[in-house]
Amino acid sequence: MVTVELDIFSGRPNPKWTLSEREVRQLAERIRADPSLLLPLDAETGGLGYRGFILNAEDTGSADDWKRLGLPSQVRLGGRFQPGAAESSSFLLHTAESARLDLKDPGPVLGVAERTIVETLSVPGLAPSYCTPAALSSDTDFSFWNGAAYQRYNNCYNFASNYRTNTFAQPGRAAGSMYTSIDCGSVGGAAERDGWQLTCRDDINYNVCLVIWPNYDYHWYRWCANNHWCHKPGQTAARNYDNSNNLITNPEAADRGGYTVFCGYYRGFGVVVS
């Protein structure tokens, strides 16, 4: 059982709530994808006001994802100085919405935390990572993808690779070894076997990034012209906006629905997918 403590008050006891089994799994997946999310209990995370979350894992004897990953029983996540944890902090904050908190009016308290989390995003360091020289396609003309004869048969990975195969391409399939689970390591590793790389190419680069809906699906974005990120959600039309209809300038901060885990950036050019 994992309880979350929103570290925000100075005099009053902080609000606490318990995560559901599913929420624990989602959180564990985030931590597994990026262990640097966790901070020691005595880490400096801010002064008065929002200071992140304290996670307490109580051993109830049952095997859960927290225990399986060997995560510590008491640890910190987020705060004013950890912009890389902003998304996971937002995730944790949203778990409070369905919990019963010992607060008369939780709205303003959660609102303060949310605003501070958003503010951390403006801290330098959480900006999309680009490699140059970059290969850029139009951020508005998606006719290559959205025709009736191929829109349905090409997915986000096709779009990211800028390679229309009409096979709903899967990471690793062209290399003969697909992903075996839906997490950053497995899907990203499969993409690397196809030829995507973490480092920049000297000649030319498609800049793409991978996100995960933990355990269920993956999604890719590609950097296009005019500093916009474009994508193609499954069988739908390719586009340059997110689930909130906002143009995507930073895929890390875009509304990605359930694809809450941001895995990282990959580079390649002429990568063959199938």
Partner 1 sequence: MRSSRLRWGLAVGLGLMGALACTTGGPSNPTSANSESRDAMTAAKASLDLFSGREALSWALSDEESRALRDAVLALPRGSRPIPDVGLGYRGFEVAWEGGAHARVFHDVIEYTESGRTVLLEDSARQLEQRLLAGARPHLTPELFTAVEAQVRSTTP
Residue from 35, 133, 257, 270 in contact with partner 1 (CB under 8 A): 257
How many residues interact with partner 1 (rule CB under 8 A)? Answer: 34
Residue among 199, 201, 188 at smallest CA distance from 160: 188
Instruction: Report if residue 171 touches partner 1, rule: CB under 8 A.
Output: yes
* Phi, psi angles (nearest 5°) of residue 120: -65, -20
Instruction: Report if residue 53 touches partner 1, rule: CB under 8 A.
Output: no
Measuring CA to CA, how many Å separate 7 from each of 50, 95, 134?
6, 15, 42
Instruction: Report if residue 12 touches partner 1, rule: CB under 8 A.
Output: no
Closer CB to partner 1, 138 or 151, in the complex: 151
Measuring CA to CA, how many Å separate 149 from each of 20, 26, 140, 205, 240?
43, 37, 20, 28, 21
Residue from 220, 223, 262, 265 in contact with partner 1 (CB under 8 A): 220
Instruction: Report if residue 192 touches partner 1, rule: CB under 8 A.
Output: no
Residue from 234, 250, 270, 272 in contact with partner 1 (CB under 8 A): 234
Q: Which residue has the tokens 């607060």?
A: 103
Instruction: Report if residue 219 touches partner 1, rule: CB under 8 A.
Output: yes
Instruction: Report if residue 170 touches partner 1, rule: CB under 8 A.
Output: yes
Kindly indicate which of the ranges 7-15, 68-76, 89-97, 239-247 contains the residues binding partner 1, using the contact rule CB under 8 A: 239-247
Please list every residue from 89 through 148 that binds partner 1, using CB under 8 A: 148
Instruction: Report if residue 30 touches partner 1, rule: CB under 8 A.
Output: no
Instruction: Report if residue 259 touches partner 1, rule: CB under 8 A.
Output: yes
Instruction: Report if residue 218 touches partner 1, rule: CB under 8 A.
Output: yes
Measuring CA to CA, how many Å separate 121 from each of 5, 82, 89?
22, 9, 11
Closer CB to partner 1, 6 or 261, in the complex: 261
Residue from 185, 195, 233, 264 in contact with partner 1 (CB under 8 A): 233
Residue among 199, 248, 202 at smallest CA distance from 219: 248
Residues 142-161: x/- map of binding to partner 1 (CB under 8 A)?
------xx-xxx-xxx----
Residue among 157, 200, 202 at smallest CA distance from 175: 157
Q: How far is the CB of 257 from partner 1 (least distance, A)?
A: 4
Q: Which residues bind partner 1 (CB under 8 A)?
A: 22, 148-149, 151-153, 155-157, 168, 170-171, 182, 187, 215-220, 232-237, 239, 241-243, 256-259
